[in-house]
Structure 1
Amino acid sequence: MHVDGMKRRHFLTLAALSSVAAACGADSPADAVRPAGKPAFRTRLRIPPLLEPKAGKDGVRRFDLTMQRGRTAILPGALAGTWGFNGSFLGPTIRASRGDRVRMAVTNRLQEASTVHWHGLRLPAEMDGGPHQTIEPGATWTPHWTIDQPAATSWYHPHPHGRTATHTYRGLAGMFIIDDDRPTGLPERYGVDDIPLILQDKRFAPDGSPAGDPLKGTFGILGDHMLVNGTYGPFLEVTTERVRFRVLNGSNARMYHLSFADRRGFHVVGNDQGLLAAPVPVDRISLTPGERVEIVAAFAAGEQVLLRTLSGSDDIDEGDFDLLKIVAAPRLAASPPLPARLADTAPITAPPGARVRRFRLNGHDAINGKEMDLSRIDEVVPAGATEIWEIENTVYAHNFHIHEVALQVLDVDGEKPPAYASGHKDTVYVPPKSTVRLAVRFGRFTDPATPYMYHCHILRHEDSGMMGQFVIVRPGTEDRTPRTIAAHHM
């Protein structure tokens, strides 16, 4: 079951962006290392380490992150300059549970200002890590909050206005896993049968360093080397009959159409904001930048299979890429059956007469005809509201991310989303010349002076101005809320 009847173009267009971007002035292949055939898959998949918190007498779990420069051999024998958290490339996995009080200490050892956004986390605006929470070189930012949301796979990455694409492309990204106390029956041993997969595409200069200008062309970078957890040509040995994969599209622009080479079926068990009510059987799924999905796949002892991204256009053949070779051990530990029910995930339903907000995506640098302005509040939302947001895309492919919220796709041009993408999300694909309707549930943190963001998560577009700001306020105070703010640290 590919897309449950949704128009194929809705899930196929963005995969063709590489060819379009080349025609629009994206990086020239002559300036980068081209892959010499398919990777050999001889490098063991790197599993990002878990970041161990420091526990204080006050019960707060403290996590230390440092943004830093380093050198990494992404390609064999080519040591090149990269950026990372607590290391030279990417970052550790942060893991916390619902009810935890957490405090981050994020230190900037780069030579320019940046931020760290907790993508998918429900938290106060001043802790969100958007472009207003700038961390200057040498400074440390210490956001703190209480985890209060269902188990989910989230992530963290930079969000400086105009520089997000560059900072993320250089290597600043990591996973943030949230647990809760509800037993699921799913695989849960991190690095054993619960595996993070951060998918990225890169182009490389002759010295092996990531190449190209993330702000050039219509879509920015679309690479020809596929990385998983920063590993090129990786293999993973599995030792259990079933494995849970937490998949993050950490690319700047690429859409992935994921399938196993033998077209075996697997199950989707979670979307961006948490588990589905029940597993959904599929043999192919699609992910745009910033989206996450949790899947469970079954393996037989001694077998090998490739995870790949498939060509996704009826008009322009983007080409297929193999991502990860999975090698099953000669003997596999038994796994419990996949549960029939996963979570009490109720649909997000807007009440009768709910506010409808409409957003029009213009080109690659404006929403509703306006480029991003850090001093302008575009929308004012009452705390705890559930609204309908209609996202109209007038041109080529986009996607849409809203900070702080949980949302559900109601329809795309009147058609329901596929079952595997019908859960709670925070980032959605908006196909070319289509309208996506969302039921959006907002949190209860109020702050009329500090905004959250909504934006296209194709990072070239975000940096070019396809972003807006909203504040959450005490109900009844919307009309009294100022529509301008002083930009913080800008």
Structure 2
Amino acid sequence: MVVTLIAIPLVPIVAVVAAGGIWFASNSARATPPAAGTVEFSRPLAVPPLAPSRVEDGVRVFELSADEAATTFEDGRSTPTLGYNGSYLGPTLVASRGEQVRVHVANRLDRATTVHWHGMHLPAAMDGGPHAPIAPGATWHPGWEVDQPAATLWYHPHLHALTREQVDAGLAGMFLLRDEEEASLSLPRQYGVDDIPVIVQDRSFNADGSFAGSIGMQFDGVLGDTILVNGTVAPYLDVTTERVRLRLLNGSSARMYDFGLADGREFDLIASDGGLLAEPVASTSVPLSPGERAEIVVTVEPGERVALRSNPPDPALHAGSASFDVLELRATASLAPRPEVPAELASLPAADAGDAVAERSFVMSGHNINDRQMDRGRADFTATVDTSEVWTVRNENPLPHSFHVHDTQFRVLSVDGSPPPARLAGLKDTIALEWSRDYRILVRFEDYADPTTPYMYHCHLLWHEDQGMMGQFLVVAPGQRPELKRPEGDSDDHHDH
């Protein structure tokens, strides 16, 4: 692997040798949304509907269908899109810890798809990765017990080499988990009123209204010049309560965000990917890479307006230097009272690596992990159920990568030898990787042994994933023999379609 930095005055360019050739990234050439302070917020924020469900023999059942459609985002132009139970994005599923759930997923597309339950702890056969394609016209029926804390999760396709295309077309939605501990706290939780899903994506449009999907000269993948929030361009939210809970999801396929409020005010960061933090963290910004989530509680005054904004990401990410607006919060003249955020939130055990049974290293470079690309016929390693491991993850590129692990919520032990910042001290399944920093994480394989069906780990910049920047692992019972086989008809081509 060769990395060459070329410095040209005023136009920093990075050349990286990646799988298939050399990719260039120029900050001056990056597609960038309108500058902060220039957006006229003109459309009420769409809030995805709650998915209806029914209980059959003690199982909560949801119905999802992946559909082809068209959506009007702006200027009256029709955009070909994909959606679940609608034209774009999908409904919000809600379930409680301890419930048995089942989802009937009908594929009404003219191509295969999958549905991956991102952040969910569940059997490998139900995970919805690239080993579980749903053929056109077919229906998949995954079921499992919800056995993890209250959290903001999401679902999206994970089809081999086609994930970016299908997610960018609109296939994504939130999956919210409840539990008794979270329900006992005085937090905003009235969905659509003071508890708001905020799915942030960037898109560009062609002259005919279709999404622009060219990678161009960007190492990251597809970057857009228009911000969508829940599929809404230039959105505003009428806030009717003193405090509002925003469930932030970076639903973009490549762009890094650093969310804050335009006036720099503090808010309470209360949760990360896998659920509540031990205590709220007073924050003025929260960076999220693709796939990451965070829950924040914002306090507003009657009649005020303030924009949720993305500020330039950490320079170590080399992910651009733009600042742009995302969503305007418009407080009504009279606000319903909401209590302050509790000083204590969740009982999180200390991240103790003392009983870890193995240590592993993962080096992200180009479109490879440990100098290898995804092979669905190869298990990159095998873990044993009911054990923990310490993984060291490192980004060897001066350009963006992230790291996502299926099934498990890991704990960050250290960043370059130092304790993690408070925002990374909770349960995580995805993390941004700054260049040349070592992230030590504690990964536990709680249960669900399966010698035949793997889980994934990969970069969550979706074009990187599609190019093969992914590996897979099996979780087996003690003494059980791994039996992974290559899926029938698999060619393992890595290219963007």
Q: Quote the offset at 1:218 in angstroms.
A: 1.6
Q: Deviations over 1:78-134 (max 9, x none)?
A: 111111111111111000001111111111111111100000000000000000000
Q: Deviations over 1:435-456 (max 9, x none)?
A: 2110112220010000000000
Aligned twin of 2:363:
360
Partner-residue secondary structure (3-state), 2:73: strand
- Runs (5+) with no aligned partner, structure 1: 1-16
Q: Quote the offset at 1:410 in angstroms.
A: 1.3
Contact 2:122–2:407 (8 Å) recurs in 1: yes
Judging changes above 3 Å, is the alpha-carbon distance between structure 1 residues 420 and 117 closer, same or farther for their aligned structure 2 residues? same
Quick one: distance in 2 between partners of 1:122 and 1:268? 23
Query: Higher RCO, 1 or 2 (CA under 8 Å, sep at least 6)?
Result: 1
Aligned twin of 1:456:
459
Whether 2:337 is the aligned partner of 1:348: answer: no
Quick one: distance in 1 between partners of 2:456 and 2:52? 30
Aligned twin of 1:380:
382
Partner-residue secondary structure (3-state), 1:450: strand
Quick one: distance in 2 between partners of 1:463 and 1:252? 11
Q: Quote the offset at 1:313 in angstroms.
A: 5.7
Partner-residue secondary structure (3-state), 2:164: helix
Quick one: distance in 1 between partners of 2:213 and 2:172? 19
Q: Quote the offset at 1:212 in angstroms.
A: 2.0
2:139 partner letter: T
Contact 1:33–1:204 (8 Å) recurs in 2: no
Note the 1:69-84 alignment, pairs <5 A. Answer: 69-84=68-83
Q: Quote the offset at 1:353 in angstroms.
A: 5.5
Judging changes above 3 Å, is the alpha-carbon distance between structure 1 residues 412 and 21 closer, same or farther for their aligned structure 2 residues? same
Quick one: distance in 2 between partners of 1:138 and 1:38? 45
Q: Deviations over 1:1-51 (max 9, x none)?
A: xxxxxxxxxxxxxxxx99869994689x99x99869933211000000000
Aligned twin of 1:389:
391
Judging changes above 3 Å, is the alpha-carbon distance between structure 1 residues 18 and 247 closer, same or farther for their aligned structure 2 residues? farther
Note the 1:31-50 alignment, pairs <5 A. Answer: 38-50=38-50
Count of residues in correspondence between the two structures: 469
2:420 partner letter: P
Question: Which shows bigger deviation, 229-238 or 412-421?
Answer: 412-421
Note the 1:15-94 alignment, pairs <5 A. Answer: 24=23, 38-56=38-56, 58-94=57-93
2:102 partner letter: R
Judging changes above 3 Å, is the alpha-carbon distance between structure 1 residues 157 and 45 closer, same or farther for their aligned structure 2 residues? same
Note the 1:120-135 alignment, pairs <5 A. Answer: 120-135=119-134
Q: Quote the offset at 1:379 in angstroms.
A: 1.1
Whether 2:284 is the aligned partner of 1:283: answer: yes
1:383 partner letter: V
Quick one: distance in 1 between partners of 2:33 and 2:471? 37
Quick one: percent identity of the two aligned structures? 48
Whether 2:219 is the aligned partner of 1:218: answer: yes
Judging changes above 3 Å, is the alpha-carbon distance between structure 1 residues 353 and 220 closer, same or farther for their aligned structure 2 residues? closer
Q: Quote the offset at 1:345 in angstroms.
A: 1.5
Aligned twin of 1:11:
none
Whether 2:167 is the aligned partner of 1:164: answer: no
1:380 partner letter: T
Question: Which shows bigger deviation, 135-144 or 392-401?
Answer: 392-401
Q: Quote the offset at 1:279 in angstroms.
A: 0.5
Aligned twin of 2:235:
234
Contact 1:203–1:210 (8 Å) recurs in 2: yes
Quick one: distance in 2 between partners of 1:262 and 1:169? 31
Q: Deviations over 1:123-163 (max 9, x none)?
A: 00000000000001111000001111110000000000100
Quick one: distance in 1 between partners of 2:404 and 2:319? 27
Quick one: distance in 1 between partners of 2:34 and 2:213? 15
Whether 2:328 is the aligned partner of 1:325: answer: yes
Aligned twin of 2:429:
426
1:39 partner letter: V
- Runs (5+) with no aligned partner, structure 2: 1-10, 17-21, 491-497
Contact 1:410–1:437 (8 Å) recurs in 2: yes
1:43 partner letter: R
2:274 partner letter: Q
Aligned twin of 1:4:
none
Whether 2:475 is the aligned partner of 1:487: answer: no
Aligned twin of 1:411:
414
Quick one: distance in 1 between partners of 2:13 and 2:436? 19
1:158 partner letter: P
Whether 2:470 is the aligned partner of 1:467: answer: yes
Partner-residue secondary structure (3-state), 1:165: helix
Quick one: distance in 2 between partners of 1:215 and 1:184? 47
Judging changes above 3 Å, is the alpha-carbon distance between structure 1 residues 146 and 317 closer, same or farther for their aligned structure 2 residues? closer
Contact 1:122–1:404 (8 Å) recurs in 2: yes
Q: Quote the offset at 1:207 in angstroms.
A: 2.1
Q: Normalization by structure 1: what TM-score?
A: 0.91
Quick one: distance in 2 between partners of 1:148 and 1:113? 29
Q: Normalization by structure 2: what TM-score?
A: 0.89
Contact 2:104–2:139 (8 Å) recurs in 1: yes
Contact 2:356–2:387 (8 Å) recurs in 1: no
Quick one: distance in 2 between partners of 1:86 and 1:316? 34
RMSD (CA atoms): 2.6
Quick one: distance in 1 between partners of 2:25 and 2:396? 22
Aligned twin of 1:97:
96
Partner-residue secondary structure (3-state), 1:168: helix
Quick one: distance in 1 between partners of 2:12 and 2:266? 28
Quick one: distance in 1 between partners of 2:237 and 2:325? 13
Q: Quote the offset at 1:186 in angstroms.
A: 0.8
Aligned twin of 2:450:
447
